[in-house]
Amino acid sequence: MLWRDLKVWQVYGANTDVGKTIVSTILCRALQRRASPNGLLYLKPVSTGPQAEADDRHIRHHVPGIVSQCISQFSKPLSPHLAAQLDGDASIAASDHDIVRKVKDHLAKHSQAGGRYAILETAGGVLSPGPSGSVQADLYRPLRLPTLLIGDSKLGGIATTISAFESLHIRGYDLESLIVFDDPQWGNYGYLEKHFSRHDIPTVALPLPPPRRQDPRDDEAVLSDYYQECAESTAVTSLVDHLHQKHFSRTSKLTSMPSQAEAVIWHPFRQHSIPHNIIAIDSAYGDHFQAYNQESDDALASPTPSHSGLTPLAAHAPPKPLLTPLFDASASWWTQGLGHGNPDIALTAAHAAGRYGHVMFAHAVHEPALDISYNLLSTLQNPRLNRVFFTDNGSTGMEVAVKMALRASSLRYGWAKDEGSAPVAILGLKGSYHGDTIGVMNCSEPNVYNEKVDWHQPWGHWFEPPSLIMRKGKWELSIPEEVAAVELTQTFDSLDSIFDFATRKDDAARYQAHIEATLTNLVRDQGKRFGALIMEPLLMGAGGMIFVDPLFQRTLISTVRSRPELIGDPVENSTNTSKADWSGLPVIADEVFTGLYRLGRASSSSFLSNPEDFGTPSASSSTQPPLPSSIAPDISVHAKLLTAGLLPLALTTASESIFQTFLSSSKADALLHGHSYTAHPIGCMVANKALDEYRRMDNDGTWENMKRPWSPSTLSVSTSSSPVYSFFPPTLVTTLSHHPRLTGCFALGTVLVLKVASEGGGYNSSATASLQARLLTLLNSEGCGIHSRVLGDIIYFMTSLTTTPEQVERLSKTILQALDHE
């Protein structure tokens, strides 16, 4: 919540009974000197104890004319979570969401009434529970109000004050000032002043409040004098100046960020000569950014002059908040798992930083690295994999995967690096994307991303894959020309039936014939050499959100594995003795985008499996069975969701067979790859926490409400595996598939993809730009817009793994609304 004119501060105490209300009173009196009588609002969202002694009354009494409000008053003088329980109405008045909404409403109303200042006083200490039981610093976090901390001036107060600050700080609050009573007996002020100045936070000392008198009238008078003196003191006057200054610098920094960025930042994937609205992100929480949108602000600040000579309308419009909440519908480039600003993740990151920082990983090991290795392998349940290599992002993780696979196949087939012949190539699919480093760019066919990269050398063959999309309520298979000769099933009644490979045996045979013919032509006839089969299982992301027919990918793997002679002749003794030996080609699954529950399952390779791969059906369980060895990749790459959406880390997993390729008596044969921050503990520890949470949600039924509407009514697919499903309900997808503005759509896991009707299309298309712009400014009932990303004529929406069905519903409604507006 941020306005240009209304300044709001929240007051926290380092402990209970440190004088929050006394300081709030002083502040209100000092602020009142700068505002009109009703320009000042005091809010006490939660109060416990008898009403007669309530803080809002105290304030009203001592700051005449102030608007002073308590939102929830509980009668017992206990911690609010207990008081709320005892008062019995906890469930309604006391939900976090409800309190935050009411605070927002009060502040918005105050702003509209021309309010200049508001003070929000919390209850107890920084981490005292609110009525629902959430600690207050978490409860109020969506508002992220600038904060004043009242220090503890008693013995031991240095410790409680600094700890309280640290708890606020790791939750992303800005502490504007520390305020302490200067009790010479303990001398906390001097120490704290020095400590907080290291964090650039000023400390204000106030005289101790007068001791209580016998006679309440004396008490009253003495207290009133004390308040008056304090409010007029230099310390408080400077504090108020400082608070104004901070407000001013925050708003001016925020509003100037877009233009400052233009001067110095070279944005990824941006054509800088095309003007673009830059969103300034102030902070983020859960699925939402708090963002300053220059375009909508400009519209307000410089209204079109009215020709009639009347004052433009905007001048009369109520002040608009500078920050708008935006649903992060690209999941911040497909990374978000447990929500932005997650306090448990922040704490985990800090623990790793405090215990290790970063430590050298060559010939060394530490607990977080070891734990995430075992954790990832047991999450993937791929019987081939047992080795983990660490790098920093999906692109570097794929570079390592390619180095692994090419070495393995070159050794087996006796291919040497040779000036004369072209490098060993890879097999892949058209529409692939494996990252931005040049080596993995070479794994993709020539396309818009790589055509201008001078060193891009496409080394491979890319099959055009059959793909799926829903149109007018039907799942349609798009069959590329190169396979169009064969006769295939063209439509499906349900998402589920696409995956019912048992009923699609004829299609599989036709795919296989096409693949065999192609390979024979490439290898036997053209003499090409292939060293790896690389695929993004089920969904190709950056290539344009292509939902690949899983049967085609499955058949590609099985054909390469069952007909190794199509690839080449192994040199003698080259076949590995490992039981996880590969056949034909090492299969690399690029699960950077699709894995770790992005599409609803731990490993996206599992979408290529079928119950019959196992022989006897596995025991019924809500979780996914292990991957069948027949379709399991030999190498898989994981990043993005791996670290819950906090920071870069990638893991490349490999089979023992691939690993053994690099063994010899020479150091020069080792995999000579390693980035400086390899296996940085902070990434590993956060990844462990993330995987634990994901698996917990998978097991405890968190996603049942999303799965249920997608469950097939008649099952030829075994019930032992979880259904193919999406966070977006099937009714929404069906509705969208009939929308005249769209030429198709689909949803898988947390991803919803819409293909927008347009002329031209392609990466340079701007057909989707107006829809994207509309979504940014079309606010839903909660005042929230949608921040989405487009890929040519595709617009997609993605949630985190903690997004609730209610949030998905709001998102869906807004999307439909925006489409209808077009």
Interacting residues with its own copies between 415 and 434 (CB under 8 A) = 417, 423-424
By beta-carbon proximity to its own copies, the closer residue of 61 and 169 is 169
Cβ-defined contacts of 484-488 (< 8 Å, 24+): 486/510, 486/511, 486/513, 486/514
Rule CB under 8 A: say whether 769 interacts with its own copies: no
Identify residues 458-497 at the interface with its own copies (CB under 8 A): 459
Determine which residue in the list 3, 181, 189, 361 makes contact with its own copies, applying CB under 8 A.
361
Among 208, 314, 353, 486, binds its own copies (CB under 8 A): 353
Determine if 403 is a binding residue for its own copies (CB under 8 A): yes
Q: Which residues between 171 and 210 bind its own copies (CB under 8 A)?
A: 171-173, 186-187, 191, 198
Between 57 and 195, whose beta carbon lies closer to its own copies?
Answer: 195
Q: By C-beta, is 375 or 553 nearer to its own copies?
A: 375
Considering the complex, state which of residue 61 and residue 195 has its C-beta at the smaller distance from its own copies.
195
In angstroms, the CA 36 to CA 671 distance is: 72
627 by Cβ neighbours in 10 Å (0-12 / 13-18 / 19+) ranks as buried
Q: Minimum CB separation from its own copies for residue 742, in Å?
A: 23
Residue 439 interacts with its own copies (CB under 8 A): yes or no:
yes
Token representation of residue 38 = 């009703």
8 touches 35 (CB < 8 A): no
Sign of the Cα pseudo-torsion (244, 245, 248, 249, in order): negative
Using the rule CB under 8 A, which residue among 322, 479, 608, 682 binds its own copies?
682
Single-letter residue type at 72: S
Residues 6+ away with beta carbon under 8 Å from 761: 767, 792, 793
Q: Which residues contact 567 (CB under 8 A, 6 or more apart)?
A: 409, 413, 519, 523, 530, 560, 584, 585
Q: How far is the CB of 259 from its own copies (least distance, A)?
A: 10
Site for its own copies in 717-756 (CB under 8 A): none
Question: Given candidates 104, 320, 351, 741, which one binds its own copies under the rule CB under 8 A?
Answer: 351
Residues between 224 and 243 with contacts to its own copies, criterion CB under 8 A = none
Query: CA angle 254-255-259, nearest 5°?
Result: 105
CB of 373 to its own copies, least distance (A): 5
The reply on whether position 655 binds its own copies by CB under 8 A is: no
Q: State the Cα–Cα distance between residues 692 and 682, nearest whole angstrom.
A: 16
- From the list 66-74, 75-83, 92-100, 240-248, the region that binds its own copies by CB under 8 A is 75-83
Cα separation of the two ends of the chain? 30
Interactions with its own copies, residue window 508-527 (CB under 8 A): none
CB within 8 A of 779, min separation 6: which ones? 324, 785
Name residues contacting its own copies, limited to 525-554 (CB under 8 A).
531
Q: Which is nearer to its own copies, 319 or 570 (CB)?
A: 570
Smallest distance from its own copies to CB 2, Å: 13
Residue 330 or 489 having the CB closest to its own copies: 330
- When the beta carbons of 450 and 814 are compared against its own copies, the nearer one is 450
User: Pick from 393, 352, 398: which is nearest to 684 by CA?
Assistant: 352
Cα(595)–Cα(638) distance, integer angstroms: 7
Binding part of the chain for its own copies, among 32-40, 234-242, 621-629, 640-648 by CB under 8 A, reads 640-648
Is 407 a binding residue for its own copies by CB under 8 A? The answer is: yes
Question: Could you say whether residue 410 binds its own copies (CB under 8 A)?
Answer: yes
Residue 335 makes contact with its own copies by CB under 8 A: yes
Verify binding: residue 124, its own copies, rule CB under 8 A.
yes
**Contacting residue, 674, 712, 723, 730, with its own copies by CB under 8 A:** 674
CB of 799 to its own copies, least distance (A): 14
Instruction: Decide: 531 and 424 in contact? Cβ < 8 Å.
Output: yes
Question: 586: which residues sit within 8 A by CB, 6+ positions away?
Answer: 404, 405, 408, 409, 531, 532, 533, 634, 635, 658
Look at the chain and count its residues.
Answer: 822
Nearer to its own copies, 165 or 727 (CB): 165
Question: Based on CB atoms, which residue is closest to its own copies, 68 or 653?
Answer: 653
Range list of β-strands (E), 635-682: 635-638, 650-655
- Residues 173, 35, 119, CA angle at the centre, nearest 5°? 30
Residue type, 811: L
Of 98 and 174, CB closest to its own copies = 174
- Please report, as residue ranges, which positions from 242 to 301 form the binding site for its own copies (by CB under 8 A): 253, 257-258, 260-261, 263-274, 276-284, 289, 291
698 belongs to the binding site for its own copies (CB under 8 A): no
Q: Do the Cβ atoms of 128 and 79 come closer than 8 Å?
A: yes
**Is residue 640 within the footprint of its own copies (CB under 8 A)?**
yes
712's tokens: 């097939």
Q: Return the residue of 763, 804, 805, 816 that touches its own copies, per CB under 8 A.
A: 763
Tell me which of 358, 707, 774, 810 binds its own copies, using CB under 8 A.
Answer: 358
What are the tokens at 6? 């209304």
392 scored as a contact of its own copies (CB under 8 A): yes
Contact with its own copies (CB under 8 A) among 93, 359, 757, 791: 359
Which one of 392-400, 566-574, 620-628, 701-709 is the stretch in contact with its own copies (CB under 8 A)?
A: 392-400
Task: Specify whether the CB–CB gap between 4 and 322 falls below 8 A.
Answer: yes
The residue (of 238 and 386) whose beta carbon lies closer to its own copies is 386
- For the bound state, the minimum distance from the C-beta of residue 135 to its own copies, rounded and expressed in Å, comes to 7
Token couple for 325? 């909440």
Q: How far is the CB of 766 from its own copies (least distance, A)?
A: 9
Nearer to its own copies, 360 or 517 (CB): 360
Considering the complex, state which of residue 173 and residue 475 has its C-beta at the smaller distance from its own copies.
173
Residues 561/584, Cβ–Cβ less than 8 Å:
yes
Residue 614 lies near its own copies (rule: CB under 8 A) = no
Bridge partner residues of 435 (DSSP): none
CA 332, 338, 339, 344 torsion: positive or negative? negative
CA atoms of 461 and 445, how far apart (whole Å): 8
The answer to whether residue 334 forms part of the interface with its own copies (CB under 8 A) is: yes
Q: For residue 195, count CB atoms less than 10 angstroms from its CB and return exposed for 0-12, middle for 13-18, buried for 19 or more.
A: middle
Does position 90 interact with its own copies (CB under 8 A)? The reply is no
- The residue within the footprint of its own copies, chosen from 367, 476, 581, 613 (CB under 8 A), is 367
Give buried/exposed letters for 56-92 (b at 16+ CB in 10 A, else e).
bebbbebbeebbbbbbbbbeeeebbbbbbbebeebee
- Please give the single-letter amino acid code of residue 359: V
Minimum distance of its own copies from residue 21's CB (angstroms):
14
560: contact with its own copies by CB under 8 A: no
**Using the rule CB under 8 A, is 388 a contact of its own copies?**
yes
Q: The dihedral of CA 366, 371, 374, 377: what is its sign? A: negative
Shortest Å distance, C-beta 568 to its own copies = 14
Using CB under 8 A as the binding rule, the residues of this chain from 778 to 817 that contact its own copies are 787, 789
Q: Determine the Cα–Cα distance for residues 65 and 482; give it in Å rounded to an integer.
A: 80
Q: How many residues bind its own copies (CB under 8 A)?
A: 175
| Position 662 contacts its own copies (CB under 8 A) | yes
Residue 19-58 contact track with its own copies, rule CB under 8 A, x = bound: ----------------------------------------
758 makes contact with its own copies (CB under 8 A) = no
- The secondary structure of 168-237, three-state, reads HHCCCCCEEEEEEECCCCCCHHHHHHHHHHCCCCCEEEECCCCCCCCCHHHHHHHHHHHHHHHHHCHHHH
Backbone angles phi, psi at 792, to 5 degrees: 60, -120
